[in-house]
Structure formats: structure tokens, C-alpha cells
Structure 1
Amino acid sequence: MVPVTTTQIHSRPSLTIIGGGPGGYEAAMVAAKLGAAVTIVESKGMGGSAVLTDVVPSKTLIATADSMRRASGASGLGVELGDEPARADMRVANRRLLALASEQSNDIRRGLERSGVRIVIGQGRLVGPTTVEAVTESGTEIIESENVLIATGASPRELPTAVPDGERIFNWTQVYSLTEVPEHMIVVGSGVTGAEFASAYNQLGAKVSLVSSRDRVLPGEDPDAAVVLEEAFVEDGVNLVSKTRAESVERTADGVRVQLTGGRILEGSHCLVAVGGIPNTAGLGLEEAGVKLKDSGHIAVDGVSRTSVPGVYAAGDCTGVFALASVAAMQGRVAVAHLLGDAVKPFQPHLVTSNIFTSPEIATVGVTEEQVASGKYQADILKLDLSTNPRAKMQNVTRGFVKIFARKGSGTVIGGVVVAPRASELIYSLALAVSQRLHVDDLANTYTVYPSISGSISEAARRLHVHL
């Protein structure tokens, strides 16, 4: 008989978390610091998919690709690297990224243990409003607590006619088994994940075809940024296949065949299917416990991460708010602050900062061009190309821009876009301006280093100054 144990915690506030990704482990750290008794149930390892198979591995691969980009462009800066072109060793690159993912997971586990968080490696599910069943290798444990946080993330969406096999047809968690740069990688899906991998494999030396169902890549992002990325793709030799869908992907004797709508066929050596994710909410006992789900399968939450059941909260990709690790972490922290009675600010979607790790990177915060065009916000918009920036010229950066959205009439910064190398670092000043409701003059009157890419942010703000 499988042993069953029951854990009850009554002496101090208690929280059980299902899922050890950013939403779960960030919440656990904060709750433990605030004095709660915390148990976290995770099936794969601390950090969850974000650390083990998604964000950390993919961005480490992209770092390798970025090194290839800089090496290939070194001659334009007067650097000679020899007669042989730079070459990516996928065995070394993938070994390194998997080791980094494991190391990061272990770091998170040690941090949780130092904070007094109890870790249970197993499958968790609700068997009551705030009762969690954890199935582990040694048996089944019933954990009773005052509150529960669901942070189970999402998994790659799979097409029934394009089933990944981990050898020729991949989802985004499987590509790290490659031992050589693909001869021809066909990427199905031109959203963030598809664009990032298309950019990375192109920089690593693969021939890349990117299949998009829309008329441009990154259909949900800033249109000016998407144009810059498309131009970069075309210049770098990426084959853009637009306004079509992949009906099926099948293996051939030495590669893959992708059947597109309209009868067109693409043949390549490998195929990466990146058509979105599905929430990991099935089999968790949510509906039985009364937790309301959306039609998409995501957990419905409010601004402080509450579900429809008192005491049950949810954070991260399983809520469908934003598929970003930073948002998952913020939702988890907000949930803990609310359930423990700490000072809490409800989650504010318009303050979210995001980055697309293509080449060049695309970073955004706050109000979008689409929202201004629709009339939801009234804003003055200033776009400044990096072609005039002295540091960009020195670094041989030929693509990119800074764009600032200022509220019409007041000059308050309400949004921004940066397209540039390391845009993920440059966007912080604009994110700070948006979150703190700074005026364009606050940005303009803050000293920047000369020369610097960030100088273009200050210059764009100066051009938005309103003379009184």
C-alpha cells in the first residue's frame, strides 16, 4: 500500500504552492520572509520550466548566437579573426546551457531552503479548497494549509499533424539535444518564440525559413519594431514565408517536409514548431474545488491574483495574463502580500516591461502604438533612429530606434520602445519613467554618458519638450 501522510500547519500563517517556477519560488521567498510556513510542490525541479527548459536555456543559446553575430561583424570594426569563419559547436553550446539551467535551479533550491521553505518534489493537485495532495516517489502526502497558490505554468502547444519527436521535429523544450547546427531549420510560428529561435539559428549559421500566418513577423508587437526585424531577417538571409499556415510536418529520409496551406511544400533538415502554449491546469482538481477556468483553460484571477475560491491564488502562465517570467514573479509576490495582509499594489498590466531577444532586441513598456491609434490614449510620439547616435556608429550598429510616448498635454511618459543591441538593459530608464509618472523633461534633464546608446533616450525626450 502506498503510504499516506498528512501535514498540518497551525502555529503561523501557512501557504502551499503548486509549481516551482518564477511565480511559485518568488512567492515562496517573500512569504517565508514575512513569517509564513511555506511548502512548495514541484515535479521537475526548482525554477520549473522557465529555468530548466525555457527561458534560461533559450536565452543562453541566444547569447551564443550573439557572440557569432559580433564575430561575423568584427571585420567592419577592423578586427581580423583569421581565414576560417566563426563556427558554432552545438555540443559545447547545448552542454553549457543545460549546465547553466541546472546550476540556476540548484541556486534557487538552496535559496529557498535557507529561507526555511519546505520543498516537496512530486505532482501536486487540489483535493479540497485549500488541501493539496502531493504524489512523490515515496508515497502520497496530504498538505493542509490556510492558502494555496497555483503556479503551474504552461507547455508548448502541439499540432496533431506535427507531433514533435525530439530528433527532426521539435517543440521549444527539445532543441537542446541538437549536436550540430541544422542545415535548414524551418520555424513554424512568427510570434516571440518563433522569432527568437529563427534569429538565433540564423546567427549560428543555419539556413532558416520562418512560416508566419500573418503578413508580418511579431504581429502583436510594435509595428515599427517588426519592420526593423523583418529588414534584418531579409538582409541576413532568413526566408520569410508569410500569410500561410503549416498544415502538417512529417519526417523524410533525411529531414522534414512541411505542407503549407495552398499546396506549397517546404523541405528542410529540421522543424521547430512554435505556435504558442497551453496552460498546465488539467488534472489539478481545480474545477472540482470550484476554481473558475476561462474557455482557454487558464485560471481566472483578479488584480491581486485571487481565484474564484477564497484562499486560492494563481500566478504565471497558467493565468494567461502575460507569458513572461517577470509577470509570473510579480503576480506571485502580489498574491503573498494580499494573503498575508502586507502592503499591496494590484497588478498593473500597463507597467509591464518585456523584451524580445532577437537580433536586434526589441524592448517595450507601457502604452502601445495600437492603443494610441485606437484612441484609448492621447499621446505625442517621438521616434529617433539610432543612425544618428555616435555610439551606435562606433559599434557598427546600423538598425534600431528609440520611441517615446508622452501623454498629450501633460508630457508624462506613458510608454516606450527600444530596438537595439541590449535593448533589454536600455528599456529600464523608460520603465522607471512610466512607473513613476515622470515627465519627458525629467528624462531630458538627467545626465547621460557621451557617447552612449542611452543618449538617444534623452535626446528623444528633449524633442518632446513642450514650450510653455
Structure 2
Amino acid sequence: MEDNRSYDLVILGGGAAAFAAITEASGRGLSTAIVNTGLPIGGTCVNVGCVPSKHLLAVGESAAAPQKNPFEAVQYSDDEPTVDWDEALDGTDALVERFRQENYVDVAEHFETDIYEGYGELVDDTTIEIVDGPDKGIRITGEKTLVATGSSPWVLPIDGLDGVDYYTSETILKERNLPGSIVIIGGGYIALEWGQILHRIGVDVTILQRSERVLSGMEGQLGREMQRAFEEEGIKVITGNDFQRVRAPAVDGGADAIQSDVGIETLVDGNERTVTGDALFVATGVQPNSEDIGLETVGVEANDDGAILVDEHFQTANPDVYAAGDVIGEPELETVAAKEGNHAIKNAFGNEGVTIDYDTVPAVVFTSPEVASVGTTELEYMDEHGTCSCRTVQMEDVPRAKAVKNTDGLVQVVKHHETDEIVGVHMVGPRAADMIMEATLAVKFGLTVDDIIDTVHPFPTFSEAFKHACQAFRRDTSTMSCCVE
């Protein structure tokens, strides 16, 4: 006997988009249900993404603090820091559990959302059947359906890779015995964040990137600055790789041959090279979780990469099915997923026609120094207009950075060459993740460089770097005193 249950809104997925959707739906008096497929409730960010990685980045930063001490007045012993990785993971697990309970389970209960656990498939327009798992056999039907199944690590196809064990950003969180050395394939934010985490707790890290710089999707200066900072810290970075194959085990030649667990054969500038390590970490991006969830059955289309196709209002080819979050593709950010989930419900049940301006969505990499970016890059502006009005200031010229001896980084501002409106801001430096919000508001609301110059900034702060970059359009900042307007 089939177990059929009905709601106003049924959701396939249990992450940020789903919870933003039930929050909006509750305000409209709608009944809601979630089929949580894959990761525990809360999705990628709370379970294997933002929360654990930022916790472990803080652990690594504390471990690195003595070595990075810039003040002669403060002395440390020569002893290396000792990090108890078991304790670090225990702390991460406890943090994740608390976030999951307080921010998801309790929220769902508050909004009277029923949660079903198991693998769900769309079987008939707005009906989801749980085909495996604890609630197998239950069917839930809604007036509308939201697909918010998120994404999973994507593995670059390299010859021999399927024959070796490797870590991803999800599986590394289960590893209690870390290797002495690790090779990371990839040069995006996951590779950089995890590379710094592992390096700072004592693992020898080598990062291999296919393109000519890390963070290849961001403004070029940011990747070059981060590579310099990483190499200065002791993290090896090799760019311009043409990966040939992965082999294991690999043996370094010579009389004192060293057995290693993995070797990556690559071409760099046309030269053959083999990079070896005790373990391999693949951080080459993510892919939408759109396979085997019944999209074809209900007339929902996806592109070749698996991203569900939606219009600007997050409606699929089936007018009763909406989709939001990582499953619809870039940008794969928790906050964007939440905004998409919220807007999908407003459009599905209120016909509000709300959309997102993705050009004003900031991106952040939580390394040390931090990386943050919003809007148009110099190259993008050049391609569109054939010219660029851009200015860059170095953090070493910012009074606060000099005062605290934390001078890595830069800030670049891209403005419209006719209107002076700020169209892009890109930065590397201390607290860039917090500084980017002023820049985001500038880009979103079309502020000019003079608007920023005319705004009094507290002194001394890192945020003055943004103002200095704007002032660079109007004066020679090298001859400027601290508080010149």
C-alpha cells in the first residue's frame, strides 16, 4: 500500500536553498516538506564545507602564529607547534553538530516542516518518491516542487587516477591519520584553503594547477599575489600543468630511493616532470547532484555539466518545478543558494518576478591573507570596452597594515571610464573578507570613486585601502599623508 502525503511545497534537498525556501514559505502560511538526500541535514556548507574548513583554518592560523610573529619584542622558542589533528576534528565535528541542530533541525521544527530521510526521485510532476533510505516507500506531493540537491566534488579525469586512493574536501574530514606529504591537484579556493590548513599543521604540501595561475577565475593579480604568499610560507605551487597520468606507488630515483604512495606525471612548459607525495588530494571543482533524481520523468532539463536549466526566476522547463542552489550551477556559494531558494518561492507562490544580479555577488577565499572580489575584472572590462580605468594600491602602503606588520596584499578598483562608477573591486589582504562588503555596496548601487573618497573612513583601518585605491584616480598616493581627503 502506497503512503502518499500532500503539502503546498515539497523540496528535494536539505541545504541552504531548501531552508531559505521553507523560511519564505512559512511566512506565506504554506505547508512544507523536505526530502533530505545525500549529506546530513544542512547540506555542504555546514557539514563538509564552510563550517569545518573555516574552523580548521583558524586552527592552522593559531599553529602558524609563532612563526609569523613580525615583532622583535616578542620571542618564541624554536620548538615547532604541535597540532592534535584528532582533537581538531573532534572540535570540528562538535561544531558541525551544533550548527546542524540549531540552524537546521530546530529551524525545520519551528516552521513545522516535515523532514524525510532517504534518496528521493521526481516521479510525477510535483511528486517525490523516496526510493531508498529510512523513509523508503513514502511519496510526497506538492503544489510546487523545489529541487535543491546541491553539488559534490568533481574529479578531473586523469589517466590512472581511478586506480589510486585520493582525498576530496569531503573525505579529508574523516581522515584521522594525516600523511607526511600531500599533492593537491587544483588551484581554486578549496585547494588553497585546504593547502594552507594542511601545511600549517605540519603536512608538506604541493599544489598543482592546470592554468598559469591559481584562482584563475578571479582578477589576475590576486592569483599571482597568493602564489607569492604561499611560496613565501613554504607551500610549493606549480602552475601550467598538463597532467599525463597518476601512478602509485612511485619511487624517486637515486641510491637513497624513497617510496611514496602517489606520483603525478605532468608536463610543465613542455618538460616532463613527476611530482610525488604520500597522498593525493583532488580539488578540481564541484558538479551538480542532478543524476538519477528523475529530471527526465518530469520534463526538467540540464546542461552537459549536469546543471539544471532555469530561467531568471528559477523556474525549470516544467512550470511547477523550480530549482535553486549548486544544482543550477555557478556561483556555488551558500549565501547565493539561500537567496535563490528564497526567490524561487516568491516567484512560485507570489509571482513576484524577483531575480539576482550575479555581477554584484562577492566571492571570498578564507586563506591568510584573505582574498575577496566583486564585479568586473580588468580583463573583462578591457574585452568589453577596449580600455580600462584601474588603480591598484599595495597593502604595504596602508597605515594600519604597516602598524601591525601585516602587509601582504593589494586592492584594485576598476571604474567606468566615463561615469566613474565603480564596477569591480579585487583584493588580497588582512580582513579582505570583511572589507569586500563596502565594495559590494559600491558596485551594487553604482557609487563613484568620489563617493568613496568623500566618505570618512576610520583611521587606522584596513578598510582605508579601498579608499586609497579610489584616491589613486585623483592624486599621487605616494605623496599623501595618512589622513588626506
Work out whether the TM-score is over 0.5: yes
Out of 120, 137, 142, the residue aligned to residue 139 of structure 2 is 142
- Which residue matches 1:444? 453
CA distance in 2, matches of 1:240, 1:80: 30
Deviation at 1:401, TM superposition (A): 1.2
Q: What is the correspondence of 1:118-197 to structure 2 with a 5 Å cutoff?
A: 118-135=114-131, 136-158=133-155, 159=157, 161-163=160-162, 169-180=166-177, 182-197=179-194
Deviation at 1:180, TM superposition (A): 4.9
Q: For 1:260, what is the secondary structure of its paired residue?
A: strand
Count of aligned residue pairs for this structure pair: 458
CA distance in 1, matches of 2:243, 2:40: 34
- Which residue matches 2:254? none
CA distance in 1, matches of 2:70, 2:384: 47
Out of 98, 105, 122, the residue aligned to residue 103 of structure 1 is 98
| Percent identity between the two aligned chains | 28
User: Which residue identity does 2:2 align to in structure 1?
Assistant: V
Out of 222, 230, 240, the residue aligned to residue 219 of structure 2 is 222
Kept after mapping to 1: 8 A contact 2:431/2:462: no
Q: What is the correspondence of 1:82-97 to structure 2 with a 5 Å cutoff?
A: 82-97=77-92
Kept after mapping to 2: 8 A contact 1:298/1:320: yes
Out of 394, 416, 431, the residue aligned to residue 425 of structure 2 is 416
- Which residue matches 1:114? 110
Q: Which consecutive unaligned segments of at least 5 residues does structure 1 have?
A: none
Q: What is the correspondence of 1:34-53 to structure 2 with a 5 Å cutoff?
A: 34-43=28-37, 44-53=39-48
Q: What is the correspondence of 1:323-342 to structure 2 with a 5 Å cutoff?
A: 323-341=332-350
Deviation at 1:350, TM superposition (A): 0.6
User: CA offsets per residue over residues 389-436 of structure 1, 9 Å max, x none?
Assistant: 111112221211111222222222221112112211110110111112
**Which shifted more, 242-251 or 217-226?**
242-251
Q: What is the correspondence of 1:299-314 to structure 2 with a 5 Å cutoff?
A: 299-314=308-323
Deviation at 1:77, TM superposition (A): 5.9
Kept after mapping to 1: 8 A contact 2:382/2:388: no
- Which residue matches 1:8? 6
Structure 1 position 57 matched with structure 2 position 52: yes
User: Residues 393, 205 of structure 1: CA spacing in aligned structure 2 closer, same or farther, 3 A cutoff?
Assistant: farther
Deviation at 1:126, TM superposition (A): 0.5
Q: What is the correspondence of 1:363-382 to structure 2 with a 5 Å cutoff?
A: 363-376=372-385, 379-382=388-391
- Which residue matches 1:198? 195
User: Residues 365, 205 of structure 1: CA spacing in aligned structure 2 closer, same or farther, 3 A cutoff?
Assistant: same
Runs of 4+ in 1 over 4 A off after TM superposition: 376-379
Q: For 1:85, what is the secondary structure of its paired residue?
A: coil
User: Residues 163, 77 of structure 1: CA spacing in aligned structure 2 closer, same or farther, 3 A cutoff?
Assistant: farther
CA distance in 2, matches of 1:300, 1:45: 26
Kept after mapping to 2: 8 A contact 1:411/1:465: no
CA distance in 1, matches of 2:170, 2:414: 36
Kept after mapping to 1: 8 A contact 2:187/2:209: yes
User: CA offsets per residue over residues 351-381 of structure 1, 9 Å max, x none?
Assistant: 1111012221110011112211212586521
CA distance in 2, matches of 1:172, 1:323: 15
CA distance in 1, matches of 2:28, 2:386: 39
Q: What is the correspondence of 1:271-282 to structure 2 with a 5 Å cutoff?
A: 271-282=280-291
Out of 250, 256, 266, the residue aligned to residue 262 of structure 2 is 256
Kept after mapping to 2: 8 A contact 1:191/1:217: yes
CA distance in 2, matches of 1:352, 1:31: 24
CA distance in 2, matches of 1:77, 1:118: 59
User: CA offsets per residue over residues 3-47 of structure 1, 9 Å max, x none?
Assistant: 6311123xxxx1111111111111221221222211111033221
User: Which residue identity does 2:438 align to in structure 1?
Assistant: S
Out of 270, 275, 284, the residue aligned to residue 293 of structure 2 is 284
Kept after mapping to 2: 8 A contact 1:39/1:118: yes
Q: Which consecutive unaligned segments of at least 5 residues does structure 2 have?
A: 250-258, 476-485
Deviation at 1:184, TM superposition (A): 1.2
User: Residues 457, 138 of structure 1: CA spacing in aligned structure 2 closer, same or farther, 3 A cutoff?
Assistant: closer
Deviation at 1:90, TM superposition (A): 1.1
TM-score, reference length from structure 2: 0.89
TM-score, reference length from structure 1: 0.92
Kept after mapping to 2: 8 A contact 1:406/1:464: no
Kept after mapping to 2: 8 A contact 1:433/1:439: yes
Kept after mapping to 1: 8 A contact 2:211/2:241: yes
Instruction: Let me know the Cα RMSD of the aligned residues.
Output: 2.2
- Which residue matches 2:19? 25
Deviation at 1:332, TM superposition (A): 1.0
